[in-house]
């Protein structure tokens, strides 16, 4: 993975990554490397964003902290983890239902907009306008490429001239002048 990408992941997930030292003396543990690899897998394989990874890790951290507090207080019993997991499962189910409802609302809105566009005939007009713009941009691109090629040829000719002819002027194409 490229260095800038690693730094991006490190900066976005820094609250979850253990390290020692400060500033340029900062050192990362094997656990940090494992967590970064996990983040990469969640992003690449499951399609999560870094914010979603942070939220997932925050939820895991909260559950771990709750269990740790219960154990420290001596109140840890065998039903607490299952209750916490069922509560968490309920929260995820509610969140999932809200996401499904939101997606359905968005889909309905998109359908209404596309229907309105179809009724107004904007689809064909917009496609023609886009095609005209694309043709114009292609012609402009071709013209610019021709200009760049001409400038590169001029630059190449200028580079072939000797330094003193470039400094004091004079033609560079004729090697010797006839007397």
pLDDT in tens, 118-148: 777 666 667 778 888 989 889 998 999 999 9
CB 53 within 8 A of CB 13: yes
The answer to whether residues 30 and 37 touch, using CB atoms and an 8 Å cutoff, is no
Q: If you count them, how many residues does the chain have?
A: 179
Residue 38 token pair:
């996990």
Domain closes at, from 11, 44, 78? 78
User: Does 70 share its domain with 121?
Assistant: no
Domain end residue (candidates: 44, 78, 112): 78
Q: What is the Cα–Cα distance from 136 to 142, expressed in whole angstroms?
A: 10
Residue 136: which H helix or E strand, with range?
helix 122-160
Domain extent at residue 32: 1-78
pLDDT in tens, 1-41: 788 888 888 888 888 888 888 888 888 888 888 888 888 88
The reply to whether 42 and 72 lie within a common domain is yes
Q: How confident is the model at residue 73 (pLDDT cuts 50, 70, 90)?
A: low
Domain count, the chain: 2
> Which residue, 26, 47, 78, sits at the end of a domain?
78
**Shared-domain flag, residues 22 and 57:** yes
Q: Is 171 helix (H, G, I), strand (E, B) or coil?
A: coil
| Same domain (yes/no): 104, 141 | yes
């Amino acid at each position: 993975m490229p260095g800038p990408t690693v730094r991006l992941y490190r900066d976005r997930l820094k609250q979850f990554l253990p390290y020692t030292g400060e500033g340029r003396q900062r050192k990362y543990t094997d656990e940090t490397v494992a967590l970064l690899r996990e983040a990469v897998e969640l992003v690449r394989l499951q399609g999560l964003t870094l914010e979603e990874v942070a939220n997932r890790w925050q939820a895991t951290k909260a559950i771990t902290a709750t269990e740790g507090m219960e154990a420290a207080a001596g109140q840890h019993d065998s039903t607490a983890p299952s209750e916490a997991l069922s509560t968490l499962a309920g929260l995820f189910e509610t969140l999932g239902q809200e996401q499904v409802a939101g997606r359905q609302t968005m889909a309905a809105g998109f359908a209404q907009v596309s229907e309105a566009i179809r009724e107004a005939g904007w689809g064909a007009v917009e496609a023609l306008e886009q095609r005209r713009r694309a043709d114009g941009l292609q012609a402009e691109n071709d013209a610019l490429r021709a200009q760049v090629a001409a400038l590169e040829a001029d630059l190449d000719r200028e580079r072939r001239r000797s330094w003193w002819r470039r400094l004091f002027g004079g033609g560079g194409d004729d090697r010797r002048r006839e007397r």
